[in-house]
Amino acid sequence: MSKIFVAGATGRVGQEVVKQLAAAGQEVLAAGRKLDRLPKGELITPVAFDFTWLPDQMAKLLTGVDAIVFTAGSRGKKSFTG
C-alpha cells in the first residue's frame, strides 16, 4: 500500500481521485484549506494544507509520502501570493 498526498481534495476532481485511490486500497492524505469539506474514510486522512505556506511548512506534511497528486484549481481566481 502506498501513501498518496492529494492536493486540492475538496474539488470535484480531487474528491473523485481520493475516492478511487481509497477504493484501490491506497492510503490517502486528502489535503485542502477547509478541513470540514475534505473527504474522510477508512483509508482517507483529511489534512489542512495551503499553497501560501512556506515550503518548510508544506514539507512537514509530505514526509513519508510515496506520491503527490495535484488537483488544485483556482476557478479563475488568484490563489497564490507574490
What pLDDT is stored for residue 65 in this prediction? Answer: 97
Given a cut of 90, is residue 4 above it in pLDDT? yes
| Amino acid at the residue 29 | L
For range 1-27, the mean pLDDT: 95
Position 25 confidence tier, pLDDT thresholds 50, 70, 90: very high
Write out the three cell numbers for 16: 473523485
What average pLDDT does the segment 12-19 reach? 94
Q: What is the pLDDT of residues 28-81, one digit of tens each?
A: 999 998 899 999 999 999 999 988 899 999 999 899 999 999 998 756 555 555
Give CA–CA dist 22/34, Å, rounded: 20
Residue 47, CA distances (Å) to 37, 61, 76 in order? 11, 8, 24
